[in-house]
Amino acid sequence: MTDTPQNPDLPEIPDAVSEPHRRYAIQLVWIIPIVAALIGLSIAVKTLMDRGDTITITFKTGEGMEAGKTKIKYKDVQIGEVKELAIAHDRSHVVVTAELSKDARGLLVKDTRFYVVRARITGGNVSGLGTLIGGSYIGVDAGSSTESRDEFVGLEAPPAVSMDVPGRQFVLHSDDVGSIDTASPVFYRRLPVGQVTGTELDRDGKGVTVRAFIRAPFDQYVKTNSVFWHASGVDVSLSASGVKVNTESLVSILLGGIAFQTPEDRFDAPVAQANAVFSLFNTREEALKHVETAETYTLVFLESVRGLAVGAPVDLRGVTVGEVTKIDVALNAAHSEVAIPVEVRFYPDRLRSQRQGKTPHSRPLNSRELLDSLVSHGFRAEIKSGSLVTGQLYVSLDFFPKAKRAKIDWSAQPPRFPTVPGTMGELQKQLMHIVQKFESLPVEELSGDARKTVQSLDATLKSADKMLKNIDQSVVPEARSALVEARKSLEEVRGTLGEFRGTLGEARTTLGGANRVLAPDAPLQIDLREALREISRAAQSLRVLGDYLEQHPESLVRGKQEDKK
Amino acid sequence: MNGPVQSAAGQGLCACHVCSLVSRRTHLSEAAHCPRCGASLHFRKPGSVASCWAFLIAAYILYLPANLLTMMETGSLISYRKDTIMSGVVHLWKTGSWGISLVVFIASITIPLLKLISLTILLVSVQRRSTWHPRQRARLYRLVELVGRWSMLDIYVVTLLAALVQLGSLATVKAGPAAVAFGAVVVLTMFASMKFDPRLIWDPLEREKL
The number of C-alpha atoms within 13 Å of A158 and in the hemisphere containing its C-beta is: 24
Question: Which pLDDT does position A549 carry in this prediction?
Answer: 87
> Among the residues of A256-347, which ranges form H helices?
284-291
Per-residue confidence band for A462, with pLDDT thresholds at 50, 70 and 90 = very high
Question: Which pLDDT does position A532 carry in this prediction?
Answer: 93
B62 to chain A, closest Cα gap in Å: 6
B31–A19 C-beta distance less than 8 A: yes
Identify whether B1 is part of a domain.
no
Chain B residue with the nearest C-alpha to that of A47? B69
**pLDDT tens digits, A310-345:** 878 888 888 888 888 888 888 877 777 888 888 888
Minimum mean pLDDT range among A32-41, A48-57, A124-133, A333-342: A124-133
- Measured between alpha carbons, how far is residue A2 from residues A147, A558, B28 in Å? 77, 220, 8
Q: How many domains is chain B partitioned into structurally?
A: 2
Residue A139: count other Cβ atoms within 10 Å of its Cβ: 23
* Predicted confidence (pLDDT) at residue B125 exceeds the cutoff of 80: yes
Per-residue confidence band for A233, with pLDDT thresholds at 50, 70 and 90 = low
Do B29 and B106 lie in one domain? The reply is no
Do B56 and B76 lie in one domain? The reply is yes
The number of residues making up chain A comes to 565
Question: Which pLDDT does position A23 carry in this prediction?
Answer: 58
Sign of CA dihedral A302, A306, A312, A316: negative
Of A353, A346, A248, A261, which is closest to residue A296 (Cα–Cα)? A346
Between A120 and A406, residue with greater pLDDT = A406
Name the range with the highest mean pLDDT among A105-119, A499-513, B61-75: A499-513
Q: Checking phi first, is residue B198 left (phi over 0); if not, alpha (psi -120 to 50) or beta? A: alpha
Q: How far apart are CA A50 and CA A46, in angstroms?
A: 6
Identify whether B181 is part of a domain.
yes
The whole-number average pLDDT for the span A439-444 is 80
Do B24 and B53 lie in one domain? The reply is no
DSSP one-letter code for A87: E
Which residues in chain B touch residue A49, judged by CB atoms under 8 angstroms apart?
none
Question: Which pLDDT does position A273 carry in this prediction?
Answer: 80
Per-residue confidence band for B207, with pLDDT thresholds at 50, 70 and 90 = low
CB contact, 8 Å: A19 with chain B? Answer: yes
Identify whether B188 is part of a domain.
yes
* Predicted confidence (pLDDT) at residue B130 exceeds the cutoff of 60: yes
Question: Which pLDDT does position B51 carry in this prediction?
Answer: 84
Which residues in chain A touch residue B196, judged by CB atoms under 8 angstroms apart?
none
DSSP one-letter code for B109: I
Do B58 and B30 lie in one domain? The reply is no
The whole-number average pLDDT for the span B97-101 is 88
B181–A33 C-beta distance less than 8 A: no
For chain A, give the mean pLDDT: 79
* Predicted confidence (pLDDT) at residue A140 exceeds the cutoff of 70: yes
A164 to chain B, closest Cα gap in Å: 26
Which residues in chain A touch residue B68, judged by CB atoms under 8 angstroms apart?
47
A163 to chain B, closest Cα gap in Å: 26
Which residues in chain A touch residue B57, judged by CB atoms under 8 angstroms apart?
33, 36-37
**pLDDT tens digits, A539-556:** 999 999 899 888 888 887
* Predicted confidence (pLDDT) at residue A247 exceeds the cutoff of 80: no
Q: How far apart are CA B114 and CA B111, in angstroms?
A: 5
Question: Which pLDDT does position A425 carry in this prediction?
Answer: 63
For β-strands A277-281 and A227-230, DSSP reports them as parallel
Do B186 and B115 lie in one domain? The reply is yes
Q: Which residues of A199-230 are buried (b: 16+ CB within 10 A; e: fewer)?
A: beeeeeeebbbbbbbbbeebbebbbebbbbbb
DSSP one-letter code for B110: I
Do B35 and B75 lie in one domain? The reply is no
Per-residue confidence band for A19, with pLDDT thresholds at 50, 70 and 90 = low
B42 to chain A, closest Cα gap in Å: 11
Do B96 and B190 lie in one domain? The reply is yes
**pLDDT tens digits, A42-97:** 877 887 777 777 888 888 888 878 777 788 888 888 888 888 888 888 888 888 88
A72 to chain B, closest Cα gap in Å: 12
Q: What share of chain A is helix, strand, coil (3-state, %, to 5)?
A: 35, 30, 35
A133–B35 C-beta distance less than 8 A: no
CB contact, 8 Å: B79 with chain A? Answer: yes
For chain B, give the mean pLDDT: 82
Question: Which pLDDT does position A262 carry in this prediction?
Answer: 82
Question: Which pLDDT does position A2 carry in this prediction?
Answer: 43
Do B11 and B81 lie in one domain? The reply is no
Q: How far apart are CA A78 and CA A62, in angstroms?
A: 19
The whole-number average pLDDT for the span A379-407 is 79
Angle separating helix axes B111-127 and B48-68, nearest 10 degrees: 150
Cis amide prior to A520 (ω within 30 degrees): no
pTM reported for the whole predicted model: 0.45
The residues, any chain, with a CB within 8 Å of residue A423's CB and separated by 6 or more, are A382, A384
Identify whether B161 is part of a domain.
yes
Do B165 and B84 lie in one domain? The reply is yes
> What percentage of chain B exceeds 70 in pLDDT?
90
The whole-number average pLDDT for the span A186-215 is 85
A33–B28 C-beta distance less than 8 A: no
Q: How far apart are CA A315 and CA A47, in angstroms?
A: 78
A70 to chain B, closest Cα gap in Å: 10
Question: Which pLDDT does position A450 carry in this prediction?
Answer: 87
Mapping DSSP to helix (H, G, I), strand (E, B) and coil, where does residue B84 land? coil
Residue B175: count other Cβ atoms within 10 Å of its Cβ: 21
* DSSP characters over A335-398: TTEEEEEEEEEE-HHHHHHHHHTT-SS---S-HHHHHHHHHHTTEEEEEEES-TTT--EEEEEE
CB B32 within 8 A of CB B14: yes
Identify whether B88 is part of a domain.
yes
The whole-number average pLDDT for the span B42-55 is 82
**pLDDT tens digits, B163-181:** 887 777 677 888 888 888 8
CB B199 within 8 A of CB B48: no
ipTM exceeding 0.85?
no
- Residue B102: enclosing H or E segment and its boundaries? helix B98-104
Q: How far apart are CA A486 and CA A478, in angstroms?
A: 12
Say which of B26, B59, B177 has its CB closest to residue A43: B177
Identify whether B2 is part of a domain.
no
* Predicted confidence (pLDDT) at residue B183 exceeds the cutoff of 90: no
Sign of CA dihedral A84, A85, A90, A93: positive
B11–A5 C-beta distance less than 8 A: yes
A32–B188 C-beta distance less than 8 A: yes
Do B118 and B88 lie in one domain? The reply is yes
Q: How far apart are CA A125 and CA A227, in angstroms?
A: 27
Per-residue confidence band for B2, with pLDDT thresholds at 50, 70 and 90 = very low
Do B21 and B92 lie in one domain? The reply is no
> What percentage of chain B exceeds 90 in pLDDT?
3
Identify whether B164 is part of a domain.
yes
Per-residue confidence band for A179, with pLDDT thresholds at 50, 70 and 90 = confident
The whole-number average pLDDT for the span A200-218 is 86
Identify whether B28 is part of a domain.
yes
For β-strands A208-215 and A227-230, DSSP reports them as unpaired
Question: Which pLDDT does position A539 carry in this prediction?
Answer: 93
Between B158 and A565, residue with greater pLDDT = B158
Which residues in chain A touch residue B50, judged by CB atoms under 8 angstroms apart?
27, 29-30
Q: How far apart are CA A227 and CA A201, in angstroms?
A: 21
Question: Which pLDDT does position A1 carry in this prediction?
Answer: 43
Question: Which pLDDT does position B162 carry in this prediction?
Answer: 82
Which residues in chain B touch residue A30, judged by CB atoms under 8 angstroms apart?
50, 54
User: What long-range pairs does B145-148 form, CB within 8 A, spacing at least 24?
Assistant: B145/B193, B145/B194, B147/B111, B147/B115, B148/B115, B148/B186, B148/B189, B148/B190, B148/B193
> What percentage of chain A exceeds 70 in pLDDT?
83
The residues, any chain, with a CB within 8 Å of residue A66's CB and separated by 6 or more, are A82, A85, A135
Question: Which pLDDT does position B173 carry in this prediction?
Answer: 82
The number of residues making up chain B comes to 210
CB contact, 8 Å: A4 with chain B? Answer: yes
* Predicted confidence (pLDDT) at residue A169 exceeds the cutoff of 80: yes
Per-residue confidence band for A458, with pLDDT thresholds at 50, 70 and 90 = very high
Of A270, A184, A167, which is closest to residue A229 (Cα–Cα)? A184
Which residues in chain A touch residue B32, judged by CB atoms under 8 angstroms apart?
16-19
- Measured between alpha carbons, how far is residue B198 from residues A296, B20, B59, B122 in Å? 109, 17, 20, 9
Sign of CA dihedral B156, B157, B158, B160: positive
- Measured between alpha carbons, how far is residue A331 from residues A192, A226, A409, A411, A505 in Å? 51, 41, 19, 20, 109
* Predicted confidence (pLDDT) at residue B120 exceeds the cutoff of 90: yes
Per-residue confidence band for A290, with pLDDT thresholds at 50, 70 and 90 = low
Question: Which pLDDT does position A535 carry in this prediction?
Answer: 93
Q: How far apart are CA B194 and CA B188, in angstroms?
A: 10
The number of C-alpha atoms within 13 Å of A377 and in the hemisphere containing its C-beta is: 8
* Predicted confidence (pLDDT) at residue A292 exceeds the cutoff of 70: no
The whole-number average pLDDT for the span B135-160 is 82
The whole-number average pLDDT for the span B74-94 is 81
- Measured between alpha carbons, how far is residue A248 from residues A231, A278, A379, B42 in Å? 6, 20, 39, 97
- Can you give the residue range of the structural domain that contains B137? 47-209
CB A419 within 8 A of CB A381: yes
Do B26 and B130 lie in one domain? The reply is no
